[in-house]
Amino acid sequence: MHHAHIDKFAYQDSVIHRLDSRVKFIVTVLFTAVVISLPRTSVSILFCYAVGPFAVLVLAGIPLRFVFKHILIVSPFVLVLAFSSVFYDRSIVRIAFGPFLWEVAAGWLRCFSILGKFIITMMALIALVSTTRFGNLLCGLQKLGFPNILVIQLGFLYRYIFILIDRAHHIIRARSGRKLKNLGVRREVKVAASMVGSLLGRSIDTAQRVNIAMEGRGFNGNWHSLSRLRVRASDIIFIFLAAAFTAGLFIFVKPILG
């Protein structure tokens, strides 16, 4: 697996990509908080909020198919919870949408509200991550007061994820090449355990070698980054636009749409 398989879009260039990672992170957190705090029975306002992350994604040139495929992958748990609310909240409400009038269970409203919020906040998160290189994001988090040790940990983790996933793929391919049927619980567990165990052993060996190499180059447990983060005019414009969009919808449009 290539190193940039998952966050390949973070290495593109656009107005959004060039923004300061701290600014993007804070805006995403606040936007998410506002969306989550919207009332649980109003669906139409969510459409308005979706415009924000949508605009950022389009502006950054992230393919929308990638975004929605990703949202679909992580959605099962939310889907179960959203649809379960349909069965439990059966009180009938009438909904008017343009010229149409429906009588539906209130659960459906909540179901769509949960799904809508899920999709919007996921769009915002994907917009953050696919326009920010992970190294820059870490650097920003460190500047925001993340503990040093956690930043190093995340940096290492990110660096080696792809290498170890590659190894796991090799081992799994070897197993599926040899195992032609289900072996029964006991053998299955044993096989899986020896796979995980050998993976663990090799990871620890790798860590030792990496550590020797890094100490040879003067690593003393501190994280230094060359990238300098600066808040520029474009960042301030972005903050202003995001705040105006989020607050404007909250103050002016939400009371109308309910």
Backbone angles phi, psi at 128, to 5 degrees: -65, -50
Tell me if 174 contacts another protein by CB under 8 A.
no
Tell me if 203 contacts another protein by CB under 8 A.
yes
Q: Would you say 29 and 244 are in contact if contact means Cβ atoms under 8 Å apart? A: no
CA 108 to chain CA mean position, Å: 26
Tell me if 83 contacts another protein by CB under 8 A.
no
Instruction: Record the tokens describing residue 13, joined without a space.
Output: 């260039």
- Minimum CB separation of residue 18 from another protein in Å reads 17
Q: Would you say 247 and 27 are in contact if contact means Cβ atoms under 8 Å apart? A: no
- Rounded CA gap, 52 and 241, in Å? 10
- Binder to another protein among 66, 68, 112, 158 (CB under 8 A)? 158
91 Rama sector, left if φ>0, alpha if ψ -120 to 50, beta otherwise: beta
Site for another protein in 94-113 (CB under 8 A): 94-101, 106-107, 109-110, 113
Q: Using CB under 8 A, count the residues that bind another protein.
A: 120
Tell me if 167 contacts another protein by CB under 8 A.
yes
Tell me if 1 contacts another protein by CB under 8 A.
no
At residue 16, the 3 state secondary structure works out as coil
Tell me if 133 contacts another protein by CB under 8 A.
no
Site for another protein in 208-237 (CB under 8 A): 208, 210-211, 214-215, 219-221
- Binder to another protein among 15, 26, 161, 229 (CB under 8 A)? 161
Q: Would you say 188 and 20 are in contact if contact means Cβ atoms under 8 Å apart? A: no
Smaller CB separation from another protein, 230 or 258: 258
